[in-house]
């Protein structure tokens, strides 16, 4: 029969082994770590308004439009030279004068959002 010190030492070894194996037998739940990284500030380019094209005038050629076309004083031919404007719409634009803004032009039958977007940088009032 083993003596008392052997039993005590054996018990201590078993206790130490159980204590050492405890994390492997009963693992603790892992908590994810969160790392925050500062992102650079978003910079949006400033909206640019396209400029109306300016065409050179020569001794033999005078362009119908050059720069912005004033809707209140343009001829039918100058209005027809604008994108999305045909003879009928040019006549309606002349009939709807005077204009003070694109909102006034929007009231003309045949002028929709696409035409306003195309005409916006090309016309003045």
pLDDT digits (tens, 9 = 90+) for 78-123: 888 888 888 999 999 999 999 999 889 999 999 889 888 888 888 8
| Structural domain boundaries enclosing 83 | 69-124
Share of the chain above pLDDT 90, in %: 16
In a domain, 50, yes or no: no
Q: What pLDDT score was predicted for residue 88?
A: 93
CB atoms within 10 A of CB 71: 25
Task: Determine, yes or no, domain membership for 42.
Answer: no
SS (H, E, C) the chain: CCCHHHHHHHHHHHHHHHHHHHHHHCCCCCCCCCCCCCCCCCCCCCCCCCCCCCCCCCCCCCCCCCCCEECCCCCHHHHHCCCCCCHHHHHHHHHCCCCCCHHHHHCCCCCCHHHHHHHHHHEEC
Give the CATH number of the domain where residue 83 resides: 1.10.150.320
Q: Has residue 1 been placed in a domain?
A: no
Which pTM value belongs to this model?
0.53
In a domain, 87, yes or no: yes
Tell me how many domains the chain contains: 1
50 has a pLDDT exceeding 80: no
């Amino acid at each position: 029969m083993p003596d008392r010190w052997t039993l005590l030492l054996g018990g201590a070894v078993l206790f130490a082994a159980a204590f050492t194996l405890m994390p492997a037998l009963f693992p603790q739940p892992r908590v994810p770590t969160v790392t925050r990284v500062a992102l650079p500030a978003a910079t949006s380019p400033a909206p640019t308004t396209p400029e109306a094209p300016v065409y050179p005038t020569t001794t033999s050629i005078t362009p119908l439009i050059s720069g912005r076309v004033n809707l209140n004083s343009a001829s039918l031919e100058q209005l027809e030279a604008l994108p999305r404007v045909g003879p009928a719409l040019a006549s309606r634009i002349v009939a709807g004068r005077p204009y003070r803004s694109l909102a006034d032009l929007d009231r003309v039958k045949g002028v929709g959002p696409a035409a306003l977007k195309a005409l916006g940088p090309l016309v003045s009032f």
